[in-house]
Amino acid sequence: MYRTPLIAAVVATGLAAGALAHGGATGIVKERMDAMDAMGDAVKSVTPMMSGAAPYDAETLRAAARTFREHSGEAMTTLFPEGSGGKPSEAKETIWSDWEDFAALAEQLGRYAEGLEAAADNGLAGSAGTGAMMGGGGMMGGDGTTGGGAMMGGGAMMSAEHIAEMPADAAFAMTAQVCSSCHERFRTKAN
């Protein structure tokens, strides 16, 4: 049951954050909040099927993966010009002092999203016919226990190909963990 805590974390990331008002943000800060919200909505669109509350649909997951990818990497980092922190933004100043780590996480999101799009066809770990994939799922649980900190070091970073071989729910959890890792480190806990 490695999935449950990860998915719970994802829901907390996507839903709680999305519910916050933009606080009157304008310009590039509003732009990046909108981009983040689009990703939050994408998370919301797949969470029910990951928890079994809705039937699994590969295309819905692929669409979410494309949304993550669209807003990852440089598309994301260009929305964080130096000096754009401060209220109403929740961006921490460490984004600019630790820029390489921040940019690496934005890149990682793109890579994992690419893998996730391909993994959509694998179905969920618990479903019939994906027994062979369980190895990947178990391994993923191992990574989860090392925590976000270890992933940040880059050592545990996986390739898109590797993510693509995972059951869809494991691939989704891995991708969503990139969101959480970056938020834990680079976003203030506002309110």
Residues that bind ligand HEC (CB under 6 A): 13-14, 17-18, 20, 22, 29, 32-33, 36-37, 39-40, 43, 68, 76, 89-91, 102, 105-106, 109, 178-179, 182-183, 186-187
State the minimum distance, in angstroms, from the CB of residue 148 to ligand HEC.
11
State the minimum distance, in angstroms, from the CB of residue 189 to ligand HEC.
11
* Cα–Cα distance, 107 to 102 (Å, whole number): 9
State the minimum distance, in angstroms, from the CB of residue 104 to ligand HEC.
8
* Cα–Cα distance, 114 to 126 (Å, whole number): 22
Q: Which of 189, 186, 16, 191 is nearest to 93 (CA)?
A: 186
Nearer to ligand HEC, 29 or 130 (CB): 29
Nearer to ligand HEC, 33 or 174 (CB): 33
Residue 170 · residue 108 · CB < 8 Å: no
Show Cβ contacts of residue 157 under 8 Å, excluding neighbours closer than 6 positions.
108, 111, 151
Nearer to ligand HEC, 174 or 182 (CB): 182
191 burial class (0-12, 13-18, 19+ CB within 10 angstroms)? exposed
State the minimum distance, in angstroms, from the CB of residue 143 to ligand HEC.
17
